[in-house]
Structure 1
Amino acid sequence: MFRHFLVPTDGSELSQLAVDQALEMASEIGAKVTFFHVQPSFYGRPDVALYGEGLVLDPLLSEQFNKANAEYAESVLAQAKAKASAKGVSAAGATSVNAVIYEAILEAASENGCDLIFMASHGRRGLAGLVLGSETQRVLTHADLPVLVYPGRGQD
């Protein structure tokens, strides 16, 4: 049976519902949980100046962007860990900066020794789902371990 879940969370309402469901399941089977938040990369590399259409981005802007993302990640993870503590579930939090979200999720699962990824689906259907794709879909197609998807309700 599963002993260690990776639960990616972006702080959205649906993601919070998935956190709650993951904790419910973890509590029932005695599994531990690692919550994971991917911080967006500031155009891939913060050390590269970007130019275009007469715009030059100040390195200070990149620094502020990265600081705000790190603070948000810590807030999201702290909320999830507090929920785990209230449920009596052993939990940790992890974050990384990566421009490719699904790769970061798969790397985190491997690095943390997880045997299940428990994540939300944002519920895009039809053409929107096909065109926009989904990080959940990418995780499903590239994962070498089980992925449990908490279904989305409606559109984003």
Structure 2
Amino acid sequence: MFKNILVPTDGSELSQETARQAVVFAKHIGARITAYHAKPNLAAAYFYGEDKKVTSNSLEEIDEQIDKEVRKNLEFIESLCRDAGVQCDTLSTSSNSPYEAIVEAAAQAGADLIFMASHGRKGIRAKILGSETLRTLTHSTIPVLVYSYGEREPSRA
């Protein structure tokens, strides 16, 4: 049924646990994984932000640090896939709108499922912080599987 699963990551513990579960799922159904990371678009933040104290040199340094972190996050998922015998590709784009980037990345990768985390925020926290998962759910034209372990500790099995 599903052949290519997009797994967005931000490198958080929840994102890593979601990746673990996505790899287990992909192995079980014989699918491949496309690991994805949406980098913040620093140039846009610099040119349109109110605080323009960032120099081009420091902007480049920050961008290099972000690239290093993105590689680390994607390599984490690649390693999980390699250990499980699941085929894996990686993809990263720059965007200040993660949900839009996720939807676009799914199309670009030819994914037929997005497997992502839910932080489980409720009430005012959910309204203030928003939900990239909810936005992805409402804008995606392909299925989105939302992994949530709620208040429980993630399983390492």
For these two proteins, the number of residue pairs brought into alignment is 151
The equivalent position to 2:100 in structure 1, one of 90, 100, 103, is 103
CA distance in 2, matches of 1:67, 1:81: 21
**Which residue does 1:149 correspond to in 2?**
146
Cα deviation digits, residues 94-125 of structure 1 (max 9, x gap):
11111111111011000000000000011111
The letter of the residue matching 1:95 is: S
Counterpart mapping for 1:1-156 below 5 A: 1-42=1-42, 44=44, 48=47, 52=51, 56-154=53-151
Query: Per-residue deviation at 1:151?
Result: 0.8
Is the contact made by 1:98 and 1:104 (CA closer than 8 Å) also made in structure 2?
A: yes
CA distance in 2, matches of 1:139, 1:117: 9
Query: Per-residue deviation at 1:153?
Result: 2.5
CA distance in 2, matches of 1:104, 1:94: 11
Query: Per-residue deviation at 1:127?
Result: 1.2
* Cα distance change on mapping 1:49 and 1:113 into 2, 3 Å: closer
Q: Which runs of 5 or more residues in structure 2 are unaligned?
A: 152-157
CA distance in 2, matches of 1:61, 1:82: 31
CA distance in 2, matches of 1:13, 1:45: 26
Query: Per-residue deviation at 1:57?
Result: 2.1
Query: Per-residue deviation at 1:131?
Result: 2.1
Of stretches 130-139 and 106-115 in structure 1, the one that deviates more from structure 2 is 130-139
CA distance in 1, matches of 2:48, 2:101: 24
Identify the structure with the greater helix proportion: 2
The letter of the residue matching 2:101 is: A
CA distance in 1, matches of 2:9, 2:41: 16
Aligned identity (percent) is 39
Aligned CA RMSD, in angstroms, stands at 1.6
- Give the TM-score taking structure 2 as reference length: 0.90
The letter of the residue matching 1:81 is: E
**Which residue does 2:154 correspond to in 1?**
none
SS in 2 for 1:114: coil
CA distance in 2, matches of 1:45, 1:151: 31
Large movers: runs of 4+ above 6 Å: none
The letter of the residue matching 1:99 is: N
Is the contact made by 1:49 and 1:56 (CA closer than 8 Å) also made in structure 2?
A: no
Q: Which runs of 5 or more residues in structure 1 are unaligned?
A: none
